[in-house]
Amino acid sequence: MTTYSKIVGTGSYLPAKRVTNHELAAQLAEQGIETSDEWIVTRSGISARHYAEPDQLSSDLALQAAQRALEAAGMQPNDIDLIIMATSTPDHLGGFPSTACVVQRKLGITNGAPAMDVQAVCSGFVYAMSVADSFIKSGAHKNVLVIGAEVFSRILDFKDRTTCVLFGDGAGAIVMSASQEPGVLATKLHADGSHGHILCVPGSVNNGTVAGSAYLYMDGPAVFKLAVSLLDKVAREALEAARMQSTEVDWLVPHQANIRIMQGTAKKMGLPLEKMVVTVAEHGNTSAASIPLALDQAVRDGRIQPGHTVMMEGVGGGFTWGAVLVRM
Ligand SMILES: CC(C)(COP(=O)(O)OP(=O)(O)OC[C@H]1O[C@@H](n2cnc3c(N)ncnc32)[C@H](O)[C@@H]1OP(=O)(O)O)[C@@H](O)C(=O)NCCC(=O)NCCS
């Protein structure tokens, strides 16, 4: 009998501190940097974002989201036999110990479940889901905790108005379990390292100091152009792999980077905008956390129901992009 992987619980967490465009514009104005609510909303669709407290790490946000996903799945931490964490803002410099291992400890998982981070920036969650799906289908693991968590505010240069207004912090998580019914219907992942320079943190650590910039750099217009052309294509590839039409998709849960990119993708796919889950206005771009945050919100408010077909897709630094088609 075929084994599928199925989402059996979702959870998410946003840090308490909410900063509106008006508040951010006022803070930036004090440093002589000009921006406005009108510019940010018109160009990106973002009205507010949440920022973690200085002592909150990605693992802290991840812990809250994971606990909620476990509760929704009706599971205890030690029921989990694999943890996959998507983050580009890991707790530790160099990424080790992995933030997944930190979350394992904070959740109190003592069963030796393997834990690893996946780095694909804003595509991280679809990458992590695809890895979880493969492990479950292979029979190696049964209950996988998949998390996307970020504290992007730590790598934002608040002197660069072209980037600092766009990102926020948050976490989302799902539990994926082995099931006799689908589940994940198709996954498609891609990368093209030749575009690495248009969205990156250029610096590196050498001899105990940072060489180059430790801040996020983005060529916004170049990213925009690439994203629009890639997302519709990868969503179609996933549909084709599942032998389905876009008309069979109940919900599009895209990476929440920019409302114009999201609307463009929905339009190209022939999906009415009412079928798209949108959280970018309130969350900003939370990178690997944005898809599970949006998914959890739509599950909890009752829009996404068991049996619905959901397309998740994202694009991010690397360049990376991918799509996961699931039946809830
Ligand atoms: C970043 C982005 C919103 C910029 O929008 P845009 O329409 O391309 O704007 P541009 O970068 O061409 O800048 C237009 C003008 O606005 C100005 N500007 C940039 N940021 C600004 C801000 N926060 N406030 C006010 N003005 C700003 C620029 O300096 C420029 O001024 P100029 O014409 O005098 O030089 C857009 O390119 C984008 O969304 N890109 C994709 C980002 C993304 O999705 N990233 C994540 C991928 S995972």
Share of the chain above pLDDT 90, in %: 98
pLDDT at 2: 86
Residue 19: exposure state from Cβ atoms within 10 A (0-12, 13-18, ≥19): middle
In angstroms, what CA-CA distances link 58 with 4, 14, 83, 222, 280? Answer: 30, 11, 15, 28, 19
Q: Which residue of the set 21, 143, 258, 285 is catalytic?
A: 285
H or E element at residue 28 = helix 21-29
Alpha carbon nearest to ligand 1 atom 31, residue: 162
Residue 164: active-site member:
no
pLDDT, tens digit, for every residue of 126-173? 999 999 999 999 999 999 999 999 999 999 999 999 999 999 999 999
Q: Which atom of ligand 1 is nearest to the CA of 260?
A: 39
Q: Which atom of ligand 1 is nearest to the CA of 161?
A: 23
Q: Which residue of the set 50, 141, 195, 255 is catalytic?
A: 255
Q: What is the DSSP string of 244-278?
A: --GGG-SEEEE--S-HHHHHHHHHHHT--GGGB--
Structure tokens, 265: 């993708």
Residues 6 or more apart whose CB falls under 8 angstroms from that of 221 comprise none
pLDDT at 1: 80
Residues 6 or more apart whose CB falls under 8 angstroms from that of 202 comprise 212, 213, 217
Please, what sign has the CA dihedral across residues 53, 57, 58, 61? Answer: negative
Residue 308: active-site member:
no
pLDDT, tens digit, for every residue of 47-68? 999 999 999 999 999 999 999 9
| Residue pointed to by tokens 């059996």 | 8
Alpha carbon nearest to ligand 1 atom 25, residue: 35
Ligand 1 center to residue 252 CA distance, Å? 25
Single pTM value for the model: 0.97
Ligand 1 center to residue 279 CA distance, Å? 20
Q: Residue 69 above 90 pLDDT?
A: yes
Structure tokens, 263: 């609307």
> In this structure, which topology does domain 4-179 adopt according to CATH?
Peroxisomal Thiolase; Chain A, domain 1 (3.40.47)
Ligand 1 center to residue 230 CA distance, Å? 20
Q: Residue 114 above 90 pLDDT?
A: yes
Query: What is the C-alpha separation between 296 and 126, in angstroms, rounded?
Result: 15
User: Using an 8 Å Cβ cutoff, are 271 and 307 in contact?
Assistant: no
Q: What is the DSSP string of 130-163?
A: HHHHHHHHTTS-SEEEEEEEEEGGGG--TT-HHH
Residue 92: active-site member:
no
Least confident stretch, 104-108, 192-196, 268-272: 268-272
Ligand 1 center to residue 4 CA distance, Å? 42
- Average pLDDT of the chain? 97
Ligand 1 center to residue 260 CA distance, Å? 12
- Ligand 1 neighbours (beta carbon < 6 A): 35, 39-40, 43-44, 122, 161-162, 165, 218, 220-221, 223-224, 227, 257-258, 261, 285, 315-316
Confidence of residue 221 (pLDDT cuts 50, 70, 90): very high
Please list the residue range(s) of the chain that carry CATH number 3.40.47.10: 4-179, 184-327
pLDDT at 171: 98
222-234 CB burial, b ≥16 within 10 A, e <16: ebbebbbebbbeb
Q: What is the DSSP string of 263-317?
A: HHHHHHHT--GGGB---HHHH-B-GGGHHHHHHHHHHHTTSS-TT-EEEEEEEET
Q: Residue 228 above 90 pLDDT?
A: no
Ligand 1 center to residue 35 CA distance, Å? 11
DSSP class of 214: -
The CATH number corresponding to 184-327 among 3.40.47.10, 3.30.70.260, 3.40.50.150, 3.10.180.10 equals: 3.40.47.10
Alpha carbon nearest to ligand 1 atom 7, residue: 43
Q: Which residue of the set 122, 195, 258, 283 is catalytic?
A: 122
